[in-house]
């Protein structure tokens, strides 16, 4: 998980130590008392500091420890964010994103960093105020640390010292596209607080911290708790992965500038002459999320700007081939620095940046500036790739590689629609991302965290917010239906039915909300808010909304609601309440009849998008197949029309996930590899992650994980591995090999792993399927079922 190369800069070392220490600490047990009683530690702030405005602050405390303990556990949180240091080493970053009623704290065992004698504990806390990311919910600037057992001597209160760092100010991101991921930073090194995290700093002029309020756990028992402060809960997530990365190449620079061979892939210094202005364009070689670190010396009064971009522009919004840089311009998030002229200056932004291209712009005055080094530290949720495919098909291998990178970059403390522009956990995106995680990694913690977030976002009316955490409420009612679908997916592929059962009251509220807008025939009419379905193009489509009938109804919405009722009925029948099964089944029967009557065009053998039967889409007809509104005989005809009728509004790369499932259900799964032209076009255009929309040249985001659906379907459709009962307790194997003769693969399973192998010899297939012990299933091969048992199963079939 960690790749380490030597560096004289301290950041890499401390980041690696952070990962190791946090991984160790995550296994520690939190005292029950701290989960049910008001903490002895208090939330603290800097006296006189703005509670809600932009600011960067430091908190310190020193204590004597007679002998190095075997364990020294602390629980720590902040608003907005913190970095915690022990004796100059970074040991924790947090907290993981949440809301005020479910504010996360991190648990860390800091014993490995302690020494006998005097120990220094220091935290950097920042609040980006009105510039903070959309995903950052906030009450006010604050920091809290609660020790466990003997570590209680560290509890935050007036015994901690603090100071504001006036060297930081926000830098607005200027981009024509919608952007919500937080500001850049301006840092004037002349005003920075030096060595604040070490024992060397003189803190005699620092103030004593000001107490805001006590620490209150979300499940406080036996006390009259009335607070508008943070309700604390332990984060269920592991520490993020942090891996050292070198940028690979200089792509452009000023003529005559002496750049040594090997820079930046190797640690080499670059001197920028006095009274000069230079630009150096660096290429990571692929898109990444990373903390960039630049070390520099001298250059009194010089300015440095670091600009980050997914791609360069030919002419906005066109990007062309992402590998090309000539004749293109840089538009992107920027950090700006002012040198104080000393040696060994170093900058790492407070939060990570997303980039393939990083441009260094330097303007010097009367003294030359030396760039000592520049590198990055990748950050992401610590998913491990536990699935694999062995094939000579280069398309499959490349698409899997890019899809996994896309999924990794769109998952840090939450799933994200895109890491560069928004960093927001949208339900529609997250449903697909969760399935990528289950098929490729098997780690379900980020999925559970996402489902908790979505359930916590529900409004009193019943529906969830479209994205969460988010400081600005946004409503996409259809995404509430996809939340129900995601919960169903986790029930079928995950390992915790009790977790799903606890979410059923929320699903009932969602469906009750939709019921308010159902007409007497069951159709939804004129529901408020943004009824997004897909970024499709075509007549009647506007900002992701499909066509509406004159009476306000829509086949797209009715079908999404029908599917939600079907999944909810199945959940209720197995782990819920039978009364809801009866009610939902009534609505299912009614909606099926209404959809068939209102939207089916027998002459065209298609479902129309609206009552007037003049507009058609792949979306509506795919949903008709998936919900079983049409007969088995009609499915094949509708599926063929989806593929061949060019008058249909086409699904974007996002909704192709559902279209491909429908085509496979209609019996066309052997053609799956023929449906991936959009992904191949991404590769041809030089993208190293999947773009947001099907308009590859002008797509806003170059990284949207909803495009990673082949990382599901290569396993589920091509290799045929699927669940056949809740909790993956039964397996069904239905391969769709098309023209592939030899292929094998493995996926994680809650009880171990599933592997399949298909080898063609003399027109026979030699098939080997290995299931976890005590797991049974079936193989469907050319219309015939074969029973599978735990362990190895082997067949020779033609």
pLDDT band at 228 (very low <50, low <70, confident <90, very high): confident
Burial of 473 (0-12, 13-18, 19+ CB in 10 A): exposed
State the pLDDT at residue 281. Answer: 98
| For range 414-426, the mean pLDDT | 98
| For range 452-470, the mean pLDDT | 97
Better-scored residue on pLDDT, 767 or 30: 767
Tell me: pLDDT of 622 over 50.
yes
The CA-based angle 646-650-654, given to 5 degrees, is 160
Edge-to-edge strands of the sheet including 730-733?
721-723, 730-733, 776-781, 784-788
Tell me: pLDDT of 9 over 60.
no
| For range 583-603, the mean pLDDT | 98
d(CA 378, CA 504): 37
| For range 462-466, the mean pLDDT | 97
CA distances to 56, 287, 309, 311, 565 from 328, in Å: 36, 18, 12, 9, 50
State the pLDDT at residue 224. Answer: 66
Tell me: pLDDT of 229 over 50.
yes
Q: pLDDT tens across 734-791, in order?
A: 999 999 999 999 999 999 999 999 999 998 999 999 999 999 999 999 999 999 999 9
The reported pTM is 0.95
Residue 769 phi, psi (nearest 5)? -125, 125
pLDDT band at 353 (very low <50, low <70, confident <90, very high): very high
Tell me: pLDDT of 253 over 60.
yes
Among 670, 675, 682, CA closest to 398 = 682
Among 197, 174, 194, CA closest to 184 = 174
Tell me: pLDDT of 33 over 50.
yes
Q: pLDDT tens across 136-177, in order?
A: 999 999 999 999 998 999 999 999 999 999 999 999 999 889
State the pLDDT at residue 105. Answer: 97
Tell me: pLDDT of 13 over 90.
no
Tell me: pLDDT of 22 over 60.
no
d(CA 153, CA 193): 26
State the pLDDT at residue 7. Answer: 36
| For range 369-386, the mean pLDDT | 98
Tell me: pLDDT of 2 over 70.
no
State the pLDDT at residue 226. Answer: 65
Tell me: pLDDT of 24 over 50.
no
State the pLDDT at residue 5. Answer: 34
* Percent of the chain scoring above 90 in pLDDT: 93
Q: In the 8-state DSSP scheme, what is residue 175? A: -
Q: pLDDT tens across 101-137, in order?
A: 999 999 999 999 999 999 999 999 999 999 999 999 9
pLDDT band at 15 (very low <50, low <70, confident <90, very high): very low
- For the beta carbon of residue 199, count every other beta carbon within 10 angstroms: 14
d(CA 470, CA 457): 9
Query: Please, what's the b/e burial string for 638-670 (b: 16 or more CB within 10 A of its CB; e: otherwise)?
Result: bbebbbeeeebbbbbbbbbbbbbbbbbbbebbb
State the pLDDT at residue 59. Answer: 98
**Contacts of residue 103, Cβ cutoff 8 Å, sequence gap at least 6:** 77, 79, 95, 218, 230, 231, 232, 233
State the pLDDT at residue 227. Answer: 73
In this predicted structure, which of 7-21, 43-57, 296-310, 640-654 has the lowest mean pLDDT?
7-21
Tell me: pLDDT of 444 over 90.
yes
Tell me: pLDDT of 207 over 90.
yes
Q: pLDDT tens across 521-566, in order?
A: 999 999 999 999 999 999 999 999 999 999 999 999 999 999 999 9
State the pLDDT at residue 492. Answer: 98
| For range 596-619, the mean pLDDT | 97
pLDDT band at 223 (very low <50, low <70, confident <90, very high): low
């Amino acid at each position: 998980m960690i790749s380490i190369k030597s560096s004289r800069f301290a950041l890499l070392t401390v980041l690696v130590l952070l990962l190791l220490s946090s991984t160790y600490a995550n296994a520690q047990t939190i005292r029950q008392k701290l989960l049910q009683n008001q903490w002895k530690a208090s939330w603290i702030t800097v006296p006189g500091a703005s509670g809600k405005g932009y600011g960067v602050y430091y908190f310190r405390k020193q204590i004597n420890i007679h002998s190095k303990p075997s364990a020294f556990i602390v629980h720590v949180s902040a608003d907005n964010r913190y970095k915690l240091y022990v004796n100059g080493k970074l040991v924790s970053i947090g907290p993981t994103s949440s809301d005020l009623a479910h504010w996360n704290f991190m648990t860390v065992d800091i014993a490995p960093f302690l020494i006998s004698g005097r120990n220094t504990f220091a935290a950097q806390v920042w609040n980006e105020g009105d510039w903070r990311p959309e995903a950052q919910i906030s009450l006010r600037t604050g920091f809290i640390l609660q020790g466990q057992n003997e570590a209680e001597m560290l509890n935050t209160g007036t015994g901690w010292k603090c100071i504001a760092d006036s060297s930081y100010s926000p830098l607005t991101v200027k981009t024509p596209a919608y952007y919500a991921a937080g500001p850049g930073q301006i840092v004037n090194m002349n005003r920075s607080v030096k060595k604040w995290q070490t024992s060397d700093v003189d803190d005699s002029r620092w103030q004593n911290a000001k107490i805001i309020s006590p620490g209150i756990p979300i499940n406080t028992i036996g006390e009259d708790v009335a607070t508008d402060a943070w309700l604390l809960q332990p984060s269920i997530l592991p520490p993020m992965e942090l891996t050292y990365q070198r940028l690979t190449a200089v792509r452009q620079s000023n003529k005559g500038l002496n750049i040594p061979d090997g820079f930046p892939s190797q640690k080499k210094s670059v001197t920028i002459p006095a009274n000069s202005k230079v630009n150096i364009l660096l290429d990571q070689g692929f898109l990444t999320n990373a903390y960039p670190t630049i070390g520099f010396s001298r250059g009194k009064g010089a300015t440095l700007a670091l600009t980050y971009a997914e791609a360069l522009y030919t002419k906005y919004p066109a990007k062309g081939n992402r590998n090309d840089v000539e004749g293109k311009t840089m538009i992107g998030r920027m950090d700006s620095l002012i040198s104080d002229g000393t040696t060994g200056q170093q900058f790492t932004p407070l939060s990570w940046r997303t980039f393939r291209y990083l441009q260094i712009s330097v303007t010097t005055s009367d003294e030359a500036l030396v760039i000592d080094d520049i590198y990055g530290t990748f950050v992401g949720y610590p998913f491990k790739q536990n699935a694999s495919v062995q094939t000579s098909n280069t398309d499959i291998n490349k698409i899997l590689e890019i899809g996994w990178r896309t999924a990794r970059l769109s998952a840090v403390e939450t799933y994200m629609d895109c890491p560069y522009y928004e960093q927001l956990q949208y339900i529609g995106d997250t449903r697909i991302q969760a399935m990528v995680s289950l098929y490729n990694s098997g780690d379900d913690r980020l999925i559970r965290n996402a489902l908790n977030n979505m359930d916590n976002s529900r409004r009193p009316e019943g529906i969830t917010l479209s994205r969460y955490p988010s400081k600005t409420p946004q409503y996409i009612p259809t995404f509430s239906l996809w939340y129900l679908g995601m919960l169903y997916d986790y029930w079928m592929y995950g390992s915790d039915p009790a977790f799903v059962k606890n979410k059923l009251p929320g699903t009932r509220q969602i469906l009750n909300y939709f019921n308010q807008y159902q007409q007497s025939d069951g159709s939804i009419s004129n529901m408020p808010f943004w009824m997004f379905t897909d970024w499709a193009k075509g007549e009647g489509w506007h900002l992701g909304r499909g066509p509406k009938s004159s009476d306000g109804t829509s086949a797209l919405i009715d079908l999404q609601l029908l599917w939600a009722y079907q999944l909810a009925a199945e959940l209720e029948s197995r782990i819920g309440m039978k009364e809801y099964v009866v009610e939902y089944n009534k609505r299912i029967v009614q909606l099926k009849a209404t959809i068939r009557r209102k939207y089916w065009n027998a002459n065209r053998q298609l479902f129309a998008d609206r009552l007037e039967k003049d507009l058609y889409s792949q979306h509506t007809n795919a949903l008709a197949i998936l919900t079983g509104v049409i007969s088995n005989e009609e499915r094949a005809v509708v599926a063929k029309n989806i593929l061949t009728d060019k008058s249909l509004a086409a699904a974007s790369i996002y909704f192709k996930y559902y279209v491909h499932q429908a085509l496979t259900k209609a019996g066309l799964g052997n053609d799956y590899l023929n449906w991936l032209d959009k992904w191949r076009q991404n590769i041809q255009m030089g993208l190293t992650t999947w773009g947001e929309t099907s308009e590859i040249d002008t797509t806003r985001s170059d990284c949207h994980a909803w495009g990673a659906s082949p990382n599901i379907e290569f396993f589920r459709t091509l290799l045929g591995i699927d669940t056949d009962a809740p909790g993956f307790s039964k397996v069904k194997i239905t391969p769709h090999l098309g023209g592939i003769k030899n292929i094998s693969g493995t996926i994680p399973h809650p009880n171990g792993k599933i592997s399949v192998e298909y080898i063609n010899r003399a027109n026979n297939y030699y098939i080997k399927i290995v299931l976890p012990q005590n797991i049974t299933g079936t193989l469907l091969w050319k219309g015939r079922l074969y029973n599978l048992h735990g362990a190895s199963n082997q067949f020779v079939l033609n």
